[in-house]
């Protein structure tokens, strides 16, 4: 992918995230980015391809951010908190209709997001549990697969908006409450003490 395509993806992504996908046409994208329609179509065949490429770029960014947070975090609880804050900030910047539009109208792009959650995110949570156990701040008897599936299912539940419809339930509130619930379920006494003294006091 060349520099021009990357620039288009970044700027078009911001437009979609702000306004939604279904309501924005390729003409709108071209005008908003100060491009001719011909230039836009020289790089992307249609809106489906553009949306799919934006999702692929976002997934690549997610992976890089998660890996950086994992390497810089003090422990497993700090790591999970950093990951959760990143997901939260990402969601706050997205028009809630984006998730609905993807699910209903862009099946290939939606499948990329689902596969990403059930592959990369799921395995990241498994690694986080193993780290927490090794660090002595998570319970030794955790059923890792159940908690990892619960964590990913929680993300899906929030993005789909059926159980916690926006704006009645704000992303920030739901995510932070879910994070507290998960930590209290997997942390031992030492981990809970760290969570209360180092994480909650900063909220």
pLDDT tens profile 113-139? 999 999 999 999 999 999 999 999 999
Residue 151 CA to residue 46 CA, distance in Å, equals: 34
pLDDT at 79: 94
Strand partners, 187: 138
Mean pLDDT of all residues in 148-164: 81
Mean pLDDT of all residues in 172-188: 86
Residue 70 CA to residue 128 CA, distance in Å, equals: 9
Work out the number of other CB atoms within 10 angstroms of the CB of residue 192: 15
Write down how long the chain is. 203
Q: Which of 103, 75, 76 is nearest to 160 (CA)?
A: 103
What are the φ and ψ backbone dihedral angles of 11, each rounded to 5 degrees?
Answer: -75, -40
Work out the number of other CB atoms within 10 angstroms of the CB of residue 43: 17
Percent of the chain with pLDDT over 70: 97
Which CATH number, 1.10.1740.10, 1.10.357.10, 1.10.3720.10, 3.40.640.10, labels domain 55-202?
1.10.357.10
- Rounded to two decimals, what is the model's pTM? 0.85
pLDDT at 42 over 80: yes
Work out the number of other CB atoms within 10 angstroms of the CB of residue 82: 18
Whether the Cβ atoms of residue 22 and residue 30 lie closer than 8 Å to each other? no
């Amino acid at each position: 992918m060349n520099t021009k395509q990357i620039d288009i993806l970044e700027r078009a992504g911001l437009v979609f995230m702000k306004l939604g996908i279904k309501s924005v046409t390729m003409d709108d994208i071209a005008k908003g980015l100060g491009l001719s329609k011909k230039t836009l179509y020289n790089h992307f065949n249609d809106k489906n391809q553009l949306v799919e490429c934006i999702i692929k770029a976002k997934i690549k960014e997610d992976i890089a951010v998660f890996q950086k947070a994992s390497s810089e975090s003090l422990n497993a609880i700090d790591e999970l908190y950093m990951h959760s804050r990143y997901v939260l900030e990402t969601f706050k910047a997205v028009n809630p209709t984006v998730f609905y539009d993807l699910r209903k109208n862009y099946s290939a792009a939606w499948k990329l997001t689902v596969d990403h959650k059930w592959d990369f995110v799921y395995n990241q949570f498994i690694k986080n549990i193993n780290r927490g156990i090794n660090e002595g701040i998570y319970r030794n008897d955790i059923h890792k697969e159940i908690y990892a599936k619960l964590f990913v299912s929680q993300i899906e539940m929030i993005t789909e908006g059926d159980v916690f419809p926006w704006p009645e339930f704000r992303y920030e509130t739901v995510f932070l409450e879910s994070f507290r619930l998960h930590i209290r379920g997997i942390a031992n006494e030492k981990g809970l003490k760290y969570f209360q003294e180092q994480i909650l006091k900063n909220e």
